[in-house]
């Protein structure tokens, strides 16, 4: 995938080079995500939204302004015209996010040998392969209460921050989660456990925040 002149390309081009185009095309074909698209294809939207992450912009208007610095520099990715913020907004609204989740899982499978930890390749106690051990945990990202509801009692100050809670499942032999689900901070961890679809033969490790006896029984 590496291009001989990639070192001269913008950072976004170098990062996208690690995502084989055939994976993006496969996801687009599976979800028919380009059926009604004229100018904003799935691959282009992926590039622009990833650049939003890299540039740390907090709005589509800011993103489009940042993209002006890359004008005429994205031809390596087949992009010759920068989008308007309204075009990006429409694509974000109309195109299902499931196609990008599918790209993630395709890429995860494609790069599995590169991101697995070699020292965990041996069976645990000679019995269980590390890829059958799944670590389950959550982490809270603070936001404003008008965006997501906060958890717990109101502090003495009377002000409570809202937030997102990221629930993740990480195989013990891997550096990348195989599942990430975002909920409001007020969501109890045991609710996520109830939505988890356990794989037969796998061992799930989690703390007491995930106690849910009805799920255990099922």
- Tens of pLDDT along the chain (218 residues) come to 455 556 678 889 989 999 999 999 999 999 999 998 888 999 999 999 999 998 888 889 999 999 999 988 998 899 999 999 999 999 999 999 999 999 999 998 998 878 776 555 566 777 788 888 999 999 888 776 555 565 555 656 656 566 788 999 998 888 789 899 988 888 888 888 888 888 898 999 999 888 888 888 88
In a domain, 1, yes or no: no
In a domain, 20, yes or no: yes
Domain boundary among the residues 110, 143, 169 is at 110
d(CA 176, CA 179): 9
In a domain, 116, yes or no: no
Backbone angles phi and psi of 124, in degrees to 5: -75, 120
In a domain, 169, yes or no: yes
DSSP letter, residue 131: G
Provide the domain limits for residue 57: 6-110
In a domain, 117, yes or no: no
Spatial contact of 130 and 173, defined as CB atoms under 8 Å apart: yes
In a domain, 94, yes or no: yes
For the chain, the 3-state helix, strand and coil shares in percent, each to the nearest 5, are 45, 15, 40
- If asked whether residues 102 and 138 sit together in one domain, one would say no
- If asked whether residues 97 and 139 sit together in one domain, one would say no
Report pLDDT for 86: 94
In a domain, 195, yes or no: yes
- If asked whether residues 133 and 105 sit together in one domain, one would say no
- If asked whether residues 14 and 103 sit together in one domain, one would say yes
Backbone angles phi and psi of 40, in degrees to 5: -110, 95
- If asked whether residues 76 and 143 sit together in one domain, one would say no
* Chain centre distance of CA 74: 23
In a domain, 115, yes or no: no
- If asked whether residues 11 and 40 sit together in one domain, one would say yes
- If asked whether residues 141 and 74 sit together in one domain, one would say no
Q: Is 152 left (phi over 0), alpha (psi -120 to 50) or beta?
A: left
Domain boundary among the residues 110, 134, 152 is at 110
Beta strands across the sheet bearing 203-205: 179-184, 162-171, 133-143, 203-205
- If asked whether residues 37 and 133 sit together in one domain, one would say no
- If asked whether residues 203 and 132 sit together in one domain, one would say yes
Long-range contact pairs involving 201-207 (C-beta distance under 8 Å, separation at least 24): 201/132, 202/132, 202/133, 202/134, 203/128, 203/132, 203/133, 203/134, 204/134, 204/136, 204/169, 205/133, 205/134, 205/135, 205/136, 206/135, 206/136, 206/137, 207/137
Domain count, the chain: 2
- If asked whether residues 37 and 13 sit together in one domain, one would say yes
DSSP letter, residue 137: E
Spatial contact of 136 and 196, defined as CB atoms under 8 Å apart: yes
Domain boundary among the residues 84, 110, 136 is at 110
């Amino acid at each position: 995938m590496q291009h001989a002149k990639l070192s001269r390309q913008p950072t976004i081009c170098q990062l996208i080079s690690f995502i084989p185009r055939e994976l993006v095309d496969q996801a687009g074909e599976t979800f028919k995500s380009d059926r009604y698209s004229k100018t904003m294809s799935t691959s282009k939207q992926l590039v622009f939204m990833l650049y939003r992450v890299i540039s740390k912009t907090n709005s589509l208007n800011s993103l489009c302004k940042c993209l002006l610095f890359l004008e005429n520099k994205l031809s390596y990715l087949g992009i010759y015209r920068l989008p308007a913020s309204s075009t990006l907004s429409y694509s974000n609204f109309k195109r299902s996010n499931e196609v990008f989740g599918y790209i993630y899982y395709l890429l995860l499978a494609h790069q599995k040998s590169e991101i697995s930890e070699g020292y965990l390749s041996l069976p645990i106690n000679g019995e269980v392969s590390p890829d059958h051990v799944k670590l389950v945990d959550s982490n809270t990202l603070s936001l404003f209460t008008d965006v997501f509801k906060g958890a717990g009692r109101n502090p003495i100050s009377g002000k409570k921050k809202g937030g997102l809670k990221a629930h993740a499942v990480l195989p013990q032999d891997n550096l990348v989660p195989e599942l990430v689900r975002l909920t409001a901070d007020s969501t109890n961890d045991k609710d996520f456990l109830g939505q988890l679809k356990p794989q037969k033969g796998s061992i799930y490790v989690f703390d007491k925040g995930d106690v849910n006896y009805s799920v255990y029984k099922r």
